[in-house]
Amino acid sequence: MPAIESRPVAAEAAATGSASGRTGGPAGAPRRPLAPRPRFSRAHLREWAWGYAMIAPLFVGLVLFYLWPIVQSAYFSFTEWGAFGGQEWVGFKNYSAFMSDPQLPRAAWNTVKYALIILAGIPISIVFAALLNQVHGKYATLYRILYFLPVVSMPAAVAMVWRWLYNGDYGLINYLLSLVGIHGPHWVSDGRYTVYALGVVGIWSSLGYNMIIFAAGLKNIPRQYYEASSLDGAGRVRQFFSVTLPLLSPSIFFVSVLSVIGGLQMFDLVLMMLGKTNPALADSKTIAYLFYEDAFITNNQGLAAAIAVVLTLVLLALTALQFRLQKRWVHYG
Amino acid sequence: MFRKVLVLTGAGALALAATGCSSSKSGSSSAGKTESGPVTLSYGIWDAKQKPAMQQMADAFHAAHPDITIDIQVTPNADYWTKLQTAAASGTAPDVFWMNGPRVGLYAGQKQLLSLSDKPGFDNTPFPKALNDVYTLDGKQYAMPKDFDTVGLWYNKKLFDAAGVKYPDATWTWQNVIDAAQKLNDPGKGVWGIASPDWTQENLFNTMLQAGGSAISADKKKSGFDDPKSLAGLQYALDFVTKYKVSPTAQQMTDTQPDQLFASGKVAMFTDGDYDLPEYKGAAGLDADVAPLPAGPDGKKATVINGLGNVIYAKTKHPEAAWEWVKYLGSKEANEIQAKTGTVIPAYNGLSAEWVASAPQYHLQVFIDQLNDAVPYPVSKNTAAWSKPMQDTLDQIWGGKLDLQTGAKQIADQMNAALAKE
């Protein structure tokens, strides 16, 4: 990009953009001066005590409601439960039962498909965030509220309304399709369509949250970069790809990590939009749904714990992988 | 960085937290008090609409037994069983609580309930035999019947009049239903002759019985799904959808439930329990009535009977007081209170007149008269272990993914495997 490098401000932007190849910090960065050896004075101790006191409420809650259940579940995953308590150590039996479950491949594939659909919603969120940033004046707040409303709506109510919309015989969607001569399918009771139908609802309900993150990210991009690049003759498209996208990448990264975690945990929509006697249910189950069935319908708590442990490990691995890969494409301006 | 990963994955831990969480405190609030002093019994129920009636009984009982106070605890049905099971596991379930047929085997089999047959003054003769049988395990009865429900053939009078078809009555057989459904079916107007979903209590368990088969053998050890007669019952119900095409498809009945289709006048006939009476009573423009279920090809009449019962928790600290309360709940006086409120059919024989009179526009007596043909709702010690795979497979058959022969065989195999483990 020689055309841009002649101007100092643009060069700065370009530098941020081209740092992608390097993994280390800037070559000329000064080394951090060595700290003096810590002395455990009373003042230090008091400072630490205050620090721990400050984080204690959150920390205790986290240990009690997150970490301890994780430890317990990991233990339970090696046990078999009687209907009314009493656990028996069974080793890896639950894990082998889960791995040989004939429903697993289909459920795993559905889960991946659903996560991919949610990820596909990210570009849509970016577009909407960019458009929302163009709106000024009294309507800006109105639009923001409208788009954020799905995020704070009750999932059960959301599922119910979408069920009506998707109704094969009397739904609004199929009515609109019939106006243009298309005979719409049974979106939420035909196994060929359910994953996509649910995916659309997933995108719709996460759009508002993602947009807020992206809108904040967009606002953080200094205007001078756009001014400088347009002086250099960059068009809007070029600006989007050379300025906006690289500088928005931390937000994109954050949203995609959350989307993968959320997508792979897909459960509530399957339960609430499909219901229990649905011919499409067998084709639409996700891993988290299998967990629910074992934990709360057939009361096989040990097996359910094993599923939860496997799901957590997969999420952990995928998130760690994303953090590794981010070095290749995320630019912290 | 690893810490960040941990925090983000914390969301994943929610699933884990769900299995990890254990006992919720509920139940006997009067620990430490002796049997002779004043006692408070906790009474677990799941229907808030019935609480006033239950409270009325509790007050009447307290007047007669000033030493015993009843504390009614309502848990919505959606959470009732999950909460009850965790509470029972930690020894804190209510002293007395509501029980139903599909669960009684599990609770009684795992020694969570006191046998009522051993109690002084226990008398189950005022209740329908089929209902007593639902709660009887290895010769001992564990629940005092509270109310019951049977299934009838609901029909839309307007649609019958328009098609010039005679209303269903007690003489009807399967063939009458098939003929009528074909005459009533009118795709041009969006009207179906009948709704025949893969629902078991409302449809399939009954048709299997009418054909001379059953869902489960009398000794509760073998599945009845591989019995050719049961198969004929399933075939009859499925034919409405696939052969005669006079019923909405499984997909259509998933998108819009058959009871909603019936309530909105899209379906001329639907076999349904008495418990949907409030829905049909309140449906605008619906002019409906109800007839007995039709007889099978050999003239056999049958409906499953289900309902609720009152049980005593095995670990209650006040077994005597709890028995007094349950005995009262099974008395004529208590059942009369229940009959007057009109929400459910009281289990006590001869007290259904008030309930029948609560909606004179319907022949509700049908549900009572069918007691003669009533068969206990099919249950075993661990009903949930086979009822879920059964429903899953039925969904596949109704959805057209599996043929009936293969599917029924599959259900029988899964069910037999589950029953063998009991």
Using the beta-carbon criterion (under 8 Å), do B12 and A83 form an inter-chain contact?
Answer: no
Residues B78 and B208 in one domain: no
Residue at A190 is within a domain = yes
- The CATH number given to whatever domain includes residue A324 is 1.10.3720.10
CA dihedral sign of residues A316, A317, A319, A324: positive
Residue A91 lies in a domain: no
Q: In chain B, what residues touch A288 (CB-CB under 8 Å)?
A: 15
> Is there a contact between A186 and B251 if contact means CB atoms under 8 Å apart?
yes
Instruction: Considering only the beta carbons, identify the residue of A84, A304, A312 that sits closest to B112.
Output: A84
Q: At CA A305, angle to CA B102 and CA A92, rounded to 5?
A: 110
Q: Which residues does chain B have within 8 Å of residue A308's beta carbon, measured at their own beta carbons?
A: 15-16, 18-19
Chain B: closest CA distance from residue A52 (Å): 17
Query: If you measure CA to CA, which chain A residue comes closest to B402?
Result: A279
Chain A: residue whose CA lies nearest to B395: A279
In this structure, are B203 and B127 located in the same domain?
Answer: no
Q: Are residues B398 and B333 in the same domain?
A: no
pLDDT digits (tens, 9 = 90+) for B294-350: 999 999 999 999 999 999 999 999 999 999 999 999 999 999 888 877 678 999 998
Q: Do A277 and B251 touch (CB under 8 A)?
A: no
* Closest partner CB to B20 (pick from A72, A186, A311): A72
Question: Nearest CA to CA, how far is A27 from chain B (Å)?
Answer: 22
Question: Structure tokens of B251?
Answer: 């997909």
Is pLDDT above 90 for B6? Answer: no
Q: Is residue A88 part of a domain?
A: no
Band of pLDDT at residue A317, cut at 50, 70 and 90:
very high
Same domain, B156 and B145: no
Chain A residues with CB under 8 Å of B15 CB are 265, 288, 291, 308, 311-312
B87/B177 same-domain check: no
CA distance B20 to chain A (A): 5
- Tell me the two tokens of residue B253: 């009945």
Looking at the predicted structure, is the pLDDT value of residue B184 above 90? yes
Would you tell me how many other CB atoms lie within 10 Å of the CB of residue A3? 11
pLDDT for the residue numbered B89: 85
Residue B19 domain-assigned? no
**Domain residues for A266?**
102-329
Across residues B124-149, what is the average pLDDT?
92
**Residue B80 structure tokens:** 């009732």
Do the strands B192-195 and B267-273 form a parallel or antiparallel pair, or are they unpaired? parallel
Residue B16 within any structural domain of the chain: no
| B333, B350, B368 - which closes a domain | B368
Q: Provide the b/e sequence for B38-58 (b: ≥16 CB within 10 Å).
A: ebbbbbbbbbeebeebbeebb
The residues, any chain, with a CB within 8 Å of residue B38's CB and separated by 6 or more, are: B67, B68, B69
What's chain A's average pLDDT? 85
Rg (CA), chain A: 25
pLDDT at A39: 63
Q: Count up the domains in chain B and report the number.
A: 2
Q: How far is B267 from chain A (nearest CA, A)?
A: 14
For A116-158, write each residue's pLDDT tens digit. 999 999 999 999 898 888 887 788 888 888 889 998 988 889 9
Q: Do A265 and B15 touch (CB under 8 A)?
A: yes
**Alpha-carbon gap, residue B386 to B221, rounded angstroms:** 12
Supply the pLDDT for residue A298. Answer: 79
pLDDT digits (tens, 9 = 90+) for A245-255: 999 999 999 99
Return the SS3 of B23.
Answer: coil
Q: Are residues B266 and B404 in the same domain?
A: yes
Q: Which two tokens stand for residue B235?
A: 């075939």
Does the pLDDT value for residue A14 go beyond 70?
no
A171-175, A235-239, B33-37, B208-212: lowest mean pLDDT where? B33-37
Q: What is the residue-wise DSSP string for B111-138?
A: T-B--STTSTT---TTS-HHHHHHTEET
Q: Are residues B295 and B315 in the same domain?
A: no
Regarding whether B324 and B215 lie in a shared domain, the answer is no
Is the domain of B159 the same as that of B280?
yes
Q: Do B265 and B333 lie in a common domain?
A: no
Burial B259-275, CB ≥16 within 10 A → b, else e: bebbbebbbbbbbbbbb
Domain assignment present for residue B18? The answer is: no
Between residues B281 and B248, the one the model is more confident about? B248
Q: How far apart are the first and last CA of chain B?
A: 50
Give the model's confidence band at A36: pLDDT under 50 very low, under 70 low, under 90 confident, else very high. Answer: low
Asked if B89 has any chain A CB less than 8 Å from its own CB, the reply is yes
- Contact list in A for residue B254 (CB cut-off 8 A) is 186, 188-189, 274-275, 277-280
What mean pLDDT is predicted for residues B277-282? Answer: 87
Binary contact (B17, A261; C-beta < 8 A): no
Looking at the structure of chain A, the number of domains it has is 1
Q: Contact, A120 vs A263, CB < 8 A? A: no
Shared domain check, B114 and B48 = yes
Q: For residue B296, which amino acid is it? A: G
CATH number (domain holding residue B383): 3.40.190.10
The interface predicted TM-score of the complex, written ipTM, equals 0.76
Q: Are residues B262 and B383 in the same domain?
A: yes
Which residues lie across from B145 on neighbouring strands? Answer: B309
Among the three residues B368, B385, B410, which one is the final residue of a domain in this structure? Answer: B368
Where is the domain boundary, B324, B351, B368? Answer: B368
Contact B41, B329 (CB under 8 A): no
**Nearest of A87, A136, A127, A119 to residue A256 by alpha carbon:** A119
Q: Which domain holds residue B98?
A: 33-149+306-368
Average pLDDT, chain B: 89
A59, A66, A71: best to mutate for the B interface, most B CBs within 10 A: A66
